[in-house]
Structure 1
Amino acid sequence: RQSRSDRGLDRYQVNVLAATADGEHAPVVFEDNPTYQNLVGRIEYRAEFGAMITDFNQIRAGALHRANGGYLVVEAKKLLVNPMAWDGLKRALRNREIKIEEMAQFYGLVSTVSLEPEPIPLDVKVVLIGDEMIYQLLHIYDEDFRELFKVQAQFTPDMQRNEQTAQDYALFVGDVVRRENLRHFDRTATARLLDEAARMADDQEKITTRFAESTSLIREASFWAGRAGRDVVTAEDVRTAVEERLRRRNFAVERYVERVMEGVLLIDTKGTAVGQVNGLSVVQIADFQFGLPSRITARTFMGRAGVISIEREVKMSGPIHDKGQLILSSYLANRFAQRRPLSISATLTFEQLYSGVEGDSASSTELYALISALSGVPIKQGIAVTGSVNQAGQVQAIGGVNAKIEGFFDVCKAGGLTGDQGVLIPTSNVRHLMLRDDVVEAVGEGQFHIYAVSTIAEGIEILTGMPAGEPDEEGNYPEGTLYALVQARLDEYAERMQEQSARRERENGPTKEPEEEPGEEGGPGDPRLW
């Protein structure tokens, strides 16, 4: 404890707020807890005889003092959640000076006379790190942000896979190994890690830049190498690490497959059925993504209601799914309603779906089911389908293709591979294939198949074994083709509808369309809606 005479000498001391390690390099400061006081500094107090006393020796520097003349790196989310921190940082940057003030003074909570340190000139570059949403919100709602932070640098989640990045990735692996004192990786292990990085990116020609995930895999592979008694990590150790990671996370998939095998969830992987297709969806739980098959069915009958999505009618679908369903209706009309109106009522649904559905990756699947229901030609149940469709009948790329294929493969494998099973994917998704080893082995042995298609016509031929057919100049499809059967069924519906309409006119007289009365704005009689 200081004596009174020693404390009397405090006024002659020097309070060094901040100093760089050397005078040659600009400081780079990372502030992990950017509170107001941690940024601009604070004045501390000591208790003496029941009173709070301070002097200039109690002034403490903040991150801005330490970074003055250099760079300050702060996470935007942490900065925004701390009271007064964002406003204090903007004030310092705008005024180009650091002024240490007590937070209580801003709210008028205290009126005690205290120290008022002179402002310190500020020359600093501030780097805010955050996600795209925070940047967009600040850019839209905070004018000071647009003025103070004018340079944006966007970090992508992946990078091109080439010789240079492969070499850089190997150097990254070596750096992690040396820094954490892990077992060294041989060339086969490094190559396998590179493949896993491409799998994380869902692209054969890219590798992920989410190095935290790669670092975790490096640690786990080193552990399994030690468990196997090896001093150097091999590709087999990386494979074991990947399989063990999957085993720890795969409970939901195992339970789903179990329900399918028990017959609780109705998924056919053998035989054929009319108007029924196995669609594929993706489920995301934290950082684990997996695919699940779903039965999609279609039923057709006479009427003019058009194609009705049951999920849309009960508001269980999102706008993107609804858009895809309307596009497939447009494709049908373009193909089969050039000579006469499309007279059809049809329903589409995801069987045993008790939650919402979103996305258009099942639009081609729904279209295949609808074509099968109209033609009466059965679809192979051993082939699952994914892919969106446009109005021209082109099959478009979708996301999560690896998870979807592996999800259906797990169900087929549990029920026994027949050699006729597989998945239909868009051709544009071939470059994204980075499948598990067991799936690749099954494909290589001919026990499982991956079919890449570019159009609906190509896909329906694989699913039914029957050519789709192309119309002649008069719009007629050749005999023995699938679309000829569809056209015949639609013509049959139209003729029956005409017969029924003629019968009603004979029995009740000609019907007259009711005239609409002028109504309120936006109502049925509003001429702006005609």
Structure 2
Amino acid sequence: MSVTTQRKLLPEQLRWTCDPGQFDFATTDELPELEGTLGQARALTSIDFGLDIRESGFNLFLAGEPGTGRTSTIKNILKKKARTEPTPSDWVYVNNFKTPDLPIALALPAGMGTELAKDMSELITAVRSIIPKALDSKEYETNKSTIIEAYQEKNNELFGKLEAEAKERGFALQRTVSGLVMVPQKEDRNYTQDEYEALSDAEKEKLEEVGQELTEKLNDVLRQVRDNEKLTKDSLSQLDRDLGNSSVGHHIDPLREKYGDNPKVVEYLNAVQEDIIANLEDFKPQQPVQSPIPGLKFPRQEPSFERYEVNIFVDNHDAQGAPVVFETNPTYSNLFGRIEHVMQMGGTATTNFTLIKPGAIHKANGGYLIVDAREVLVNPFSWESLKRCIRSAEIKIEDPLEQYRFITIATMKPESMPLQAKIIMIGSPWIYYLLYHLEPDYRKFFKVKVDFDSRIARTPEVLKDYALFVSTHCKNEKLLPFDRSGVAGLIEYSARLVEDQEKLSSQFMEIADLIREASYWAGKDGGGPVTHAHVANAIEQKVYRSNRIEERMQELFDEGTILVDVAGEVPGQINGLSVISLADHTFGRPSRVTARVYLGRAGMVNIEREVKLSGPIHDKGVLILTGYLGGKFAHDKPLSFSASICFEQNYEGVEGDSASSTELYCLLSAFSGVPIRQGIAVTGSVNQHGMIQPIGGVNFKIEGFYAVCKAKGLTGEQGVIIPKSNERHLMLNDEVVQAVRDGKFHIWSVETIDQGIEILTGVAAGEKGADGTWPEGTINHMVDMRLKQMIESMKKFGASDKDDKKQD
């Protein structure tokens, strides 16, 4: 058996086929829905740990590619877990009667927030009815009159005594513009100016002395009157207070008893009672305001009782267990709440404690908050405020723009609330690593990483779960059911997505889309169960919608615009394979690689690198070739040559080392002069020891070269050489597999450069003997001889150059 035959892969090795017979159902309608998550054992273990541990900072970051089930998994887990946990408290904001700018936050058992608001509404309604009646009662008027009459009697008595004394001493108490004064009198009348001037100096002096003495007594009386007035006001205030206590007390006392277990609520109720008593006038019927226009009356504005309302901030009376909140738009206001304003006439904005609105973190307090990491990071102030909340374990409602204003605006500062919630962020691995390395506080607050893999091991249990996953989607979205062959085709597509015969994709978004598309095509085909043919058609149609550029490039191969030979033999020329990814479509294409060797000391010249069309990994692969050649052929001589390698008709960048083995084959052919079969394309990277290493995109590369060979005509001699370590990654399409089965196309796998060069040239590579030489007629021998010839030629040119210089 030839070496070429030994390295050939059998059709059964080119793809893994899912056996529909392993399923024990006719259609997925017979199956229950999937409970839990498909695969992801590592992620589920991390979630269990992160949700159970209650210490500070153990919040979760769900890292994984979109479509791997991160969001649906955490939602399903929390939906079950939250039901078994206690329902958190209600939160309400109430007026701070001492400092209205600092509203008070009250925590009450779930459902009691609504009760308090209802109780306060009923209280104020009752008080507004009771107090006016009490103020108009006969008893209140009698008591008030008694107090006022007593005050008036005391005042009359004081002024009566003073007036009597003044009269005895020739003076009278009179009221003037400036107040009460003592005026001297003559014959019960005031002195005239002439009569007063006619008095002697002694008489005048005596009148002044008496007047001064009486004025001092008048001042004493006025002081007593003021004291009596203050006592009267105190008595009237006490009367109102007693009325208020009797009217309000028996309504508030039951509330004090009802909320007696909450001292902060009792303190608030006491403040409410004090405010009502202090503002009894607000409860009196309001009289119309007299207009300056005769006959026109303006209605008086009713006093506001809004200060007695209760702002039900977080209401958990209907909640069953802990809350789970998924905030899809985590702006600052949506996360941390806001204080709304009402525009008044004239453009003035006003606010009060009833306009404080909660954010997602308030609603999730006592439970779980789920946010998208990217959305949190791109929204201003959200990330910094979230860190601040976790650090201080409290939630504050603030104006984030306050620090940027030149003029401070008066606003409210509501009392903060304690934070007791588990924060769960969902993002890509890229965001996770950026935060981990660039954000110092991140590691303190998100200590649990939940890593969702994009691929899962293919086990019998996973295959059954895949069928349940299909059943769940079909039932939830009312799609046509899948039969066993349809499920098998879907699973094969899943293995194709990850290019691994032992793994399946956990990119459930892609799988779900294929379920929907296959159901659509089954509906177009009559509406029966979805079969393997419908799944294959859905895949084909999906590719057709996206492969316009691939078809255009294929036309260039067909027209000969892009030069690729798929027949014949040429030394120093080989077909390499590359992969092109264009958003939603990936395909492979062959590229002609050529190598030229000649005398010189330049060594390996990578034309792509010289013109800056290659990336660092590709350059590394080319430099490895020098290491390989030196290690293999420079034990007994120095390497002295010049060689250029080029990707022909390449006008774009080249990156990756998957073509390094291709370039080395091309070099060996150029050195040895042995032609390479053009019907064989090559892929694989190589190390300095000549070992072939695995590469990515092997299926696309093979299928891309097959398409070119098919267009130019299959000869039965064409095929692709791949690394042996890539065998498990083969999930080729049915057409390529059938072509291999029919002997029209071939796949070889190799482990070393020597194995590959033998397939490409049909000439043995040769093994090095004990004397350090290779057998004659082998590739390695011919390369070694060519290198020696080049060195000898360089020596001759060097000697002739020296002779020429001597002659000069």
Distance 2:572 2:675 in 1: 7
Task: Report the alpha carbon displacement of residue 6 of structure 1 after superposing the two structures with TM.
Answer: 9.6
Task: Report the alpha carbon displacement of residue 459 of structure 1 after superposing the two structures with TM.
Answer: 0.3
Match of 1:38 among 334, 338, 347: 334
Task: Report the alpha carbon displacement of residue 13 of structure 1 after superposing the two structures with TM.
Answer: 3.4
2:445 alignment partner in structure 1: 148
1:172 pairs with 2:469: yes
1:99 pairs with 2:396: yes
Match of 1:25 among 317, 321, 328: 321
Aligned counterparts, 1:117-132, within 5 A = 117-132=414-429
Task: Report the alpha carbon displacement of residue 109 of structure 1 after superposing the two structures with TM.
Answer: 5.2
1:339 pairs with 2:628: no
Distance 2:438 2:606 in 1: 40
Change beyond 3 A, Cα 1:459–1:115: same
Change beyond 3 A, Cα 1:23–1:258: closer
Superposed CA offset, 1:10-69 (max 9, x none): 444332222347555221111111111111100112223233222222111101011101
Higher relative contact order (CA 8 A, sep 6+): 2
Judge which range, 219-228 or 101-110, deviates more. Answer: 101-110
Aligned counterparts, 1:355-434, within 5 A = 355-434=652-731
Pairs aligned (count): 509
- SS of alignment partner, residue 159 of structure 1: strand
Q: Which has the larger radius of gyration?
A: 2
Distance 1:490 1:103 in 2: 74
Which amino acid in 1 is paired with 2:311?
A: N
Distance 1:352 1:78 in 2: 43
Distance 1:196 1:173 in 2: 13
1:328 alignment partner in structure 2: 625
1:112 alignment partner in structure 2: 409
Aligned counterparts, 1:265-304, within 5 A = 265-304=562-601
Distance 2:545 2:577 in 1: 23
Distance 1:232 1:133 in 2: 41
Distance 1:183 1:12 in 2: 59
Judge which range, 48-57 or 331-340, deviates more. Answer: 48-57
Unaligned runs of 5+ in 1: 512-530
Which amino acid in 1 is paired with 2:717?
A: D
Judge which range, 464-473 or 494-503, deviates more. Answer: 494-503
Match of 1:79 among 337, 356, 376: 376
Superposed CA offset, 1:376-426 (max 9, x none): 111011110000000110000001111111111111111111111111100
Task: Report the alpha carbon displacement of residue 496 of structure 1 after superposing the two structures with TM.
Answer: 1.1
* Same amino acid, percent of matched pairs: 52
Match of 1:478 among 775, 779, 799: 775
2:295 alignment partner in structure 1: none
1:261 pairs with 2:552: no
Distance 2:400 2:612 in 1: 50
- RMSD between aligned residues: 1.8
Distance 2:433 2:317 in 1: 37
- SS of alignment partner, residue 467 of structure 1: coil
1:68 pairs with 2:361: no
Contact 1:273 1:378 in 2 (8 A): yes
Task: Report the alpha carbon displacement of residue 333 of structure 1 after superposing the two structures with TM.
Answer: 1.2
Contact 2:546 2:584 in 1 (8 A): no
- SS of alignment partner, residue 758 of structure 2: helix
Judge which range, 146-155 or 456-465, deviates more. Answer: 146-155
- SS of alignment partner, residue 156 of structure 1: coil
Distance 2:768 2:806 in 1: 39
- SS of alignment partner, residue 722 of structure 2: strand
Contact 1:98 1:121 in 2 (8 A): yes
Task: Report the alpha carbon displacement of residue 347 of structure 1 after superposing the two structures with TM.
Answer: 0.6
Task: Report the alpha carbon displacement of residue 216 of structure 1 after superposing the two structures with TM.
Answer: 0.7
Contact 2:605 2:642 in 1 (8 A): yes
Which amino acid in 1 is paired with 2:803?
A: R
Superposed CA offset, 1:280-326 (max 9, x none): 11111113211111000000111221111111112211111111111
2:490 alignment partner in structure 1: 193
Judge which range, 153-162 or 5-14, deviates more. Answer: 5-14
Distance 2:536 2:805 in 1: 76
Which amino acid in 2 is paired with 1:35?
A: T
When the two structures are superposed, what TM-score results if normalisation uses the length of structure 2? 0.61
Judge which range, 130-139 or 409-418, deviates more. Answer: 130-139
Distance 2:633 2:662 in 1: 19
Distance 2:426 2:359 in 1: 19
- SS of alignment partner, residue 425 of structure 1: strand
Superposed CA offset, 1:94-123 (max 9, x none): 111111112232323553322221101111
Change beyond 3 A, Cα 1:185–1:509: same
Distance 1:104 1:466 in 2: 77
Which amino acid in 1 is paired with 2:335?
A: L
Superposed CA offset, 1:133-188 (max 9, x none): 22222222222212111111221111111111111111111111111110000111
Contact 1:104 1:110 in 2 (8 A): no
Contact 2:763 2:778 in 1 (8 A): yes
Distance 1:6 1:100 in 2: 31
When the two structures are superposed, what TM-score results if normalisation uses the length of structure 1? 0.93
Change beyond 3 A, Cα 1:7–1:400: farther
Task: Report the alpha carbon displacement of residue 458 of structure 1 after superposing the two structures with TM.
Answer: 0.4
Which amino acid in 2 is paired with 1:409?
A: Y
Which amino acid in 2 is paired with 1:41?
A: G
1:238 pairs with 2:535: yes
Task: Report the alpha carbon displacement of residue 7 of structure 1 after superposing the two structures with TM.
Answer: 9.2
Distance 1:409 1:245 in 2: 20
Contact 1:35 1:79 in 2 (8 A): yes
Superposed CA offset, 1:253-276 (max 9, x none): 111111111111001111111100
Judge which range, 192-201 or 5-14, deviates more. Answer: 5-14
Which amino acid in 2 is paired with 1:15?
A: N
Superposed CA offset, 1:422-468 (max 9, x none): 11100000100111121111111111111100000000000011110
2:385 alignment partner in structure 1: 88
Unaligned runs of 5+ in 2: 1-298
Which amino acid in 2 is paired with 1:17?
A: F
Judge which range, 101-110 or 294-303, deviates more. Answer: 101-110
1:181 pairs with 2:474: no
- SS of alignment partner, residue 721 of structure 2: strand
1:438 pairs with 2:735: yes
Task: Report the alpha carbon displacement of residue 5 of structure 1 after superposing the two structures with TM.
Answer: 8.8
